[in-house]
Amino acid sequence: MSEDQPVVCVVDDDAEVRRALERLLRSTGYAAWAFPSAKAFIESGRGQHPGCLVLDVRMPELSGLDLQQALDEAGCHMPIIFITGYGDVPTAVRAIRRGAVDMLIKPVDERQLFAAVSRALQIDRAEQAIRAEQAELGRRYARLTPRERQVFALVVAGLLNKQVAARLGTSERTVKVHRARVMRKLGVESFAELVRLGTQLGIGPAPVARFPSPSYNGASQLPQGPMADMRVGE
C-alpha cells in the first residue's frame, strides 16, 4: 500500500467492534487499519499520513479525547470521527469544538459511518492540498536572498519603490531589479499575487505610514500607492 493512499484508521480497545468496523470499511473499498489502543496508533506513525481516524471515546490509559489533544499538540490534523457507547453530550461538544468531524453512537449505523468517513476524507484531501501548497511556497521563499526578502516585505507592506530604496539606503533602480527577481523566483506576475503570497507567508500586508510632501496642498500631491508603482521593468 502506498503511503499516499488514504487510510481509515480504527482505534478501539474492544476487539470485536474493532474487527467489525475494519471488515465493514474494507468491504466497501476503503483501505482500513485497526489499532487496539491510542498508544498503538501513535507508535505506528500513521497520523502523519493521509486518511482519517475512527476513534473510540472511552479507552484505558489514553482516551479518545486524550489522543485527539495529543495529535493536535503534535501538529497532526487527521480528521477524527468519534464513536461511543454513551450519549454523553458534554463529551460530544468538547470533541466537536476541538475539530472532530462527527460523534457516532454504538452500535454504529453503517450509513452514518460511511457519510462521516466520506466527509472526513474530503476534509483531509483539502488540508493535504493546502499543506502541499504551503510547502511549495516555502521552498520558493527559501530561494530569495536576504536583500530580496527585505524588498519583498516592504513592497507587500505597501511602500513604493522609492520608499523601499530610502528605507534600505539603495537606489530605486536597484530596488526594481530586486523586485523583479522576487516576482520571478516566487512565480508571480502581478502585485496582487505578490501580496497574496506575502499574506500566506505571514509577511504582510501591514499598515505603512505615508510620507506626503511638506508643501502638500491637496489630493493631487498624495502618494499614489503601490498599484501605481507596479511595473517592475521601468
* CATH number, residue 107: 3.40.50.2300
Q: Look at residue 1 and tell me if it is in a domain.
A: no
Share of the chain above pLDDT 70, in %: 85
- E strands in 88-231: 102-105
Whether residue 109 sits in one domain with residue 83 = yes
Q: Look at residue 42 and tell me if it is in a domain.
A: yes
The predicted pLDDT at position 209 comes to 40
**DSSP 8-state symbol, 7:** E
The predicted pLDDT at position 1 comes to 55
**Distance from C-alpha of 157 to C-alpha of 49, rounded to nearest angstrom:** 37
Would you say the C-alpha torsion 105, 110, 111, 116 has a positive or negative sign?
positive
Give the domain range for residue 175.
143-229
Residue 220 predicted with pLDDT over 60:
no
SS3 label, residue 82: strand
Whether residue 25 sits in one domain with residue 64 = yes
All three cell numbers of 233, joined, read 521593468
The predicted pLDDT at position 96 comes to 87
Q: Which whole number is the average pLDDT over 159-185?
A: 96
Residue 234 predicted with pLDDT over 60:
no
The predicted pLDDT at position 4 comes to 75
Whether residue 147 sits in one domain with residue 129 = no
The predicted pLDDT at position 2 comes to 59
Q: Look at residue 97 and tell me if it is in a domain.
A: yes
Whether residue 76 sits in one domain with residue 186 = no
Whether residue 154 sits in one domain with residue 114 = no
Partners of 11 in the β-ladder: 35, 55
Between 90 and 136, the higher pLDDT residue: 136
Whether residue 147 sits in one domain with residue 113 = no
**Distance from C-alpha of 25 to C-alpha of 9, rounded to nearest angstrom:** 10
Q: Which whole number is the average pLDDT over 164-189?
A: 96
Between 96 and 39, the higher pLDDT residue: 39
